[in-house]
Amino acid sequence: MGRSHVSRIGAHRPHLRLTRTLLVAAVFVVAAVAGRQAGGRDPGVRFEIAFAGAVHPEPITGRVYVAISRDDNGSPIQHVGPTGVPLFASNIEGLRAGEPAVIDGRAFGHPVASLNDLPEGDYFVQAFVNIYTRFARADGHTVWLHMDQWEGQDWRRSPGNLFSSVTTVHVDPKAGTVVRLVCDQVIPQVPVPPDTEYVKHLKFESRILSKWWGQPIYLGATVLLPKGYDGHPEAKYPVNYAQNHFSLRAPGGFGSGGEFDRLWLADDTPRFIYVTFQQPTPYYDDSYAVNSENNGPYGDAIMQELIREVDERFRVIQGALGAEALRWVDRRMGGARAADLPSRVLRRRLGELPRFDRLPLSPGRQRLR
């Protein structure tokens, strides 16, 4: 029995010794690999980005960027994009003036994935701070996003965002590069084109959207009036609402002195009011004029507030007559937007439209005089 007992123990000892040997070897391998990584890793590239309290005294939650260009062609930030200059970024939360935010080799970049992948050389660099706003939404979600400043959700030119001067630096990921930049400049307000005889601009706070987003949200419109509008105060006109991306320019590009200007002001051009919307969201430059779970009730706000505002400020045909007039416009223009049509095609199609006072009416309707 004793020999048998010793035999059973002896039978397990080689396995115990082998297991111990493997564990010790594994520890040495891990330690060796870690040592090589710590000792052989290149220092890399590191940007420390701060902002000046003189231009923004409050702490900032948002996102910091650094854009890097080989060429001296102005602001590198303005040349970022899917095929643009390399851009790297990092989120910040409650960052105070003077405190550095770090962008290093761990930060995601495009089209270069990491700062440490940059070839050694001289670069033009620029830092940027995109400021976020806290939205406590009516659906119970709280999100931090960039508040549009009437620029059409373009963070690179959004008023209030901060940027640094362009600086030339030598980058060498193997030797290690540390660059300190200060954002001490502020993007100014977007200039809104002035009203003219024919072009009017509207902007107002939306009660519906502000309640849903928990912050003031604005809607707007650019209205192009027909020739003779002021001279015929008794006349009402059909209206064409055009949905597109954010723009403050006049519908059809009116005011540029081109063919559309001559067409719009021609004596034989049918008279109607042409309206484009401004409805940027905290996510995008336009809402697609629909209600959605993420954007909120933009469809309701446009129908109940924005179009009503246009109807009240301008002499718009409402009801069945206005609907018939708009159907005439849409049908005769073949469903195309005026701004997208060649001038000769646009002139031909508008030439087929009846004058607003000659539109066919539903039974029982009186003709506008």
Q: Supply the pLDDT for residue 327.
A: 55
Q: Supply the pLDDT for residue 359.
A: 41
Contact 95, 101 (CB under 8 A): yes
Contact 125, 179 (CB under 8 A): yes
3-state secondary structure 105-143: CCCCEECCCCHHHCCCEEEEEEEEEEECEEEECCCCCEE
What is the per-residue pLDDT across 67-124, written as a single tens digit (0 to 9) for each?
999 999 999 999 999 999 999 999 999 999 999 999 999 999 999 999 999 999 999 9
Query: Across residues 49-56, what is the average pLDDT?
Result: 98
Q: Say if residue 126's pLDDT is above 90.
A: yes
28 or 198, which is more confident? 198
Question: Average model confidence (pLDDT) for the chain?
Answer: 82
| Buried/exposed 25-39: b ≥16 CB within 10 Å, e otherwise | eeeeeeeeeeeeeee
Q: How confident is the model at residue 271 (pLDDT cuts 50, 70, 90)?
A: very high
The region of weakest confidence among 38-52, 71-85, 315-329 is 315-329
Torsion of CA 158, 161, 164, 169, to 10 degrees: -80
Q: How confident is the model at residue 268 (pLDDT cuts 50, 70, 90)?
A: confident
Instruction: Provide the whole-model pTM.
Output: 0.77
Q: How confident is the model at residue 331 (pLDDT cuts 50, 70, 90)?
A: low
What share of the chain has pLDDT > 90, as a percent?
72
- Which H helix or E strand runs over 307? helix 307-313
Q: To which residue do tokens 């970022």 refer?
A: 80
Q: Supply the pLDDT for residue 41.
A: 60
Q: Say if residue 350's pLDDT is above 80.
A: no
182 or 358, which is more confident? 182
Distance CA 25, CA 7 (A): 28
Q: Say if residue 138's pLDDT is above 50.
A: yes
135 or 31, which is more confident? 135
Contact 92, 146 (CB under 8 A): no
Q: 121-131 and 60-69 as β-strands: parallel, antiparallel, unpaired?
A: antiparallel
What is the per-residue pLDDT across 219-228, written as a single tens digit (0 to 9) for each?
999 999 999 9
The region of weakest confidence among 154-163, 300-309, 317-326 is 317-326
Q: Supply the pLDDT for residue 228.
A: 95
Q: Supply the pLDDT for residue 30.
A: 34
Hey, is 203 helix, strand or coil? strand
What share of the chain has pLDDT > 70, as a percent?
75
Query: Across residues 129-151, what is the average pLDDT?
Result: 98
Distance CA 265, CA 262 (A): 5
